[in-house]
A and B are shown apart, each in its own frame.
Chain A
Amino acid sequence: MGGEKDGSPAEPRSRRRGQGELETQVLTVLGGASEPVTAAWVQERLDGGLSYSTVITILTRLLDKEAVTRTGSGRPVLWQSTANGAGLTAFRMRRLLDQRDDRDAVLSSFVSALSPDDEELLRSLLGENGPGHGGPSTDRPGS
């Protein structure tokens, strides 16, 4: 039963985790800077000898996630973390929550996923039952 993890299915997952690790490291370095810095500045302070292009890739990915901002449209592109301490914690928590299998087994979310039909149904449920029209809608939609 223990031999299943050697195959290829495990590989993308561990690589993704590795990337998340790097993102956190970059964010931590950026968080230590008091002003916007260049990617080279970040690269110097990261252990693990990452290439410049890797650092740029990570920064770009963080930009997509709105965890960093890119300032200075001119020659030296400067990067700044949008996150303070709490923001970094939030970022780490999101990374943890993105592990859906583990998360769903432990936490119950306030609301679960909707299908497009569900959304329409919800809108009509909430919309049609205006004040003074509290009629019981006990029919069970969807099942």
Chain B
Amino acid sequence: MGVFVYLPLVLPLTALPVARLTEQHLHPRSAARLLATVAVILGSCTILCLGLLVVVGTAQLPGNPLPDSWSDDEVRKAVPQDRIAGKTAVAALTAVAVACASTLWRHYSFRARARRTLAGLPTTSEVAVLPDGVPYAYALPGSPGRIMVSSAMLDCLTPAEQRVLLAHERAHLAGRHHRLLLAVQLAGCVNPLLRPLRAALTYSTERWADEQAAVDTGDRRLTARAVGKAAIVSHRSATGTVAAFAAAGPVPRRVAALLGPAPSERGWPPVLTPTGIAAFVAAAGSALSTLSSLNAVFALFVALEAATPLQEP
């Protein structure tokens, strides 16, 4: 397998152009699914690759639980720099496990706390209106999912615009966008090269929900106005606080997209457009990564089988 065993660690670099291009050219629903799939595949390959390096590189270190024959010379020759790589991989795999566990814990504990807090409301309907002077609106995933919206946010929107907001949040819940986001977040913990996918996916899910709201209400301009108005009102109410303005938000791009024509629903774009190239690069990167991981697993398996006397007399 040679240096190919290291390929899955680096191939997530293909995620960079993908993140950039898909969010601009693909239908947001396809973009979100593509980004999440690519992230999961490339992340899994990274884990597989690290696992292999751990086995090969450390099987002969004293005190490890693996059979020594798993790391005889034949096998070790397959991996360049096996000892260093093995020890590094142990550290990396531990870090990955810790990061993933803490991400999961934070995700579920936040959801549980939000749910407990909402239990204080007299109503259990899908839309929880919280009497609060600060405008905000969130979708809280779970079964059933709930929509938390502050009274200040509702007050500044017309009834038609309120319907847009609710349709947007319902689209988040119905599309289970939190799962895609969590998957990409975990992938980013596994391989830092996958982190750019997260911002791209966040944007795609917002656009997806926007488009769904535009379909549900049948009015793209109204949807654009609701998003823009909500953003301006939130902006103004938050001007006193410091934290919110580190980076420019993607809201103007969302509004501009809504004011333009509806994106095409076509599944797979023509190859010679930027969209096609993005999708092609994504597919090629994922396929190559999967292939080289599988190739490495297979090669190692064959080597291990040859090294281990399986038939005991």
Contact with A126, one of B24, B114, B153, B224 (Cβ below 8 angstroms): B224
**Distance, CA A125 to CA B205, complexed state (A):** 22
- A103 CA / B238 CA spacing, docked (Å): 16
Given A118-B248, A137-B256: A113 and B238 interface contact (C-beta under 8 Å): yes
CB-CB under 8 A from A138, the residues of chain B are: 256-257, 260-261
Residues of B within 8 A of A94 (CB): 130, 132, 134
A10 within 8 A of B: no
Asked if B248 and A115 sit within 8 Å, CB to CB, the answer is yes
A108 in contact with B172 given A129-B259, A136-B260, A141-B256 (CB within 8 Å): yes
Chain A residues within an 8 Å CB radius of B183: none
Give complex CA distance A115, B244 in Å. Answer: 9
Contact with B along A35-66 (1 / 0, CB 8 A): 00000000000000000000000000000001
Binds A, one of B69-77, B104-112, B286-294: B104-112
Contact B140 A112 (CB under 8 A): no
Asked if A77 lies at the interface with its beta carbon under 8 angstroms from chain B, I say no
- List residues of chain B with CB within 8 A of the CB of A86: 120-122, 130-131
With a cutoff of 8 Å between Cβ atoms, the chain B residues found around residue A129 in the complex are 221, 224, 259
Across-interface contacts of B232 in A (CB, < 8 A) = 114, 119, 122-123
User: Which of A1, A107, A114, A143 meets B138, CB within 8 Å?
Assistant: A107
B168 proximity list for chain A (CB < 8 A) = 110
Separation of A5 and B224 alpha carbons in the complex (Å): 44
Tell me, yes or no, whether B26 is within 8 Å of chain A by CB. Answer: no
A13 nearest CB across to chain B (Å): 13
- Provide the B187-225 mask, 1 if CB < 8 A to any CB of A, else 0: 000000000000000100110010000000000010011
Residues facing B in A104-143 (CB within 8 A) are 105-119, 121-123, 125-126, 129, 134, 136-143
Categorize the interface residue count of chain B: 35 or more
Residues of B115-146 at the interface with A, using a CB-CB cut-off of 8 Å, are 117-118, 120-122, 130-134, 136-141
**A33 close to chain B: CB less than 8 A:** no
- Per-residue CB proximity of B11-31 to A under 8 Å, as 1/0? 000000000000010000000
Contact among B131, B141, B234, B246 for A90, CB-based, below 8 A? B131
Considering the chains assembled together, what is the distance between the CA atoms of A111 and B224 in angstroms? Answer: 12
B230 engages A111 (CB within 8 Å)? yes
Instruction: Indicate whether A125 sits within 8 Å of B230 (C-beta atoms), given known contacts A92-B120, A114-B235, A138-B256.
Output: no
Could you tell me the dominant secondary structure of chain B's interface residues? Answer: helix
Alpha-carbon distance A115/B110, docked complex (angstroms)? 27
Q: A140, B256: Cβ atoms under 8 Å?
A: yes
Q: Which residues of A contact B98 (CB under 8 A)?
A: 1
Residues of A near B141 (CB, < 8 A) are 106
CA distance in complex: A93, B115 (Å): 10
CA distance A129 to B257 in the complex (A): 13
Are A118 and B249 in contact (CB-based, < 8 A)? yes
Contact B244 A113 (CB under 8 A): yes
Residue contact B118 to A107, C-beta cutoff 8 Å: no
Does A100 make an interface contact (CB < 8 A)?
A: yes
B251 in contact with A112 (CB, 8 Å): yes
User: Bound state CA distance, A134 and B24, in angstroms?
Assistant: 21
Structural contact, A97 and B202, CB atoms closer than 8 A: no
A111 contact set on B, CB distance < 8 A: 137, 227, 230-231, 234, 249, 251
Residue of B nearest to A143 (CB): B253
Interface membership of A78, Cβ < 8 A: no
- Contacts of B95 on A, CB cut-off 8 Å? 1
- A89 close to B224 (CB less than 8 A): no
Q: Do B117 and A92 touch (CB < 8 A)?
A: yes
Q: Which residues of A contact B229 (CB under 8 A)?
A: 126
Asked if A29 is at the interface (CB within 8 A of a chain B CB), the reply is no
Which B residue's beta carbon lies closest to that of A84?
A: B131
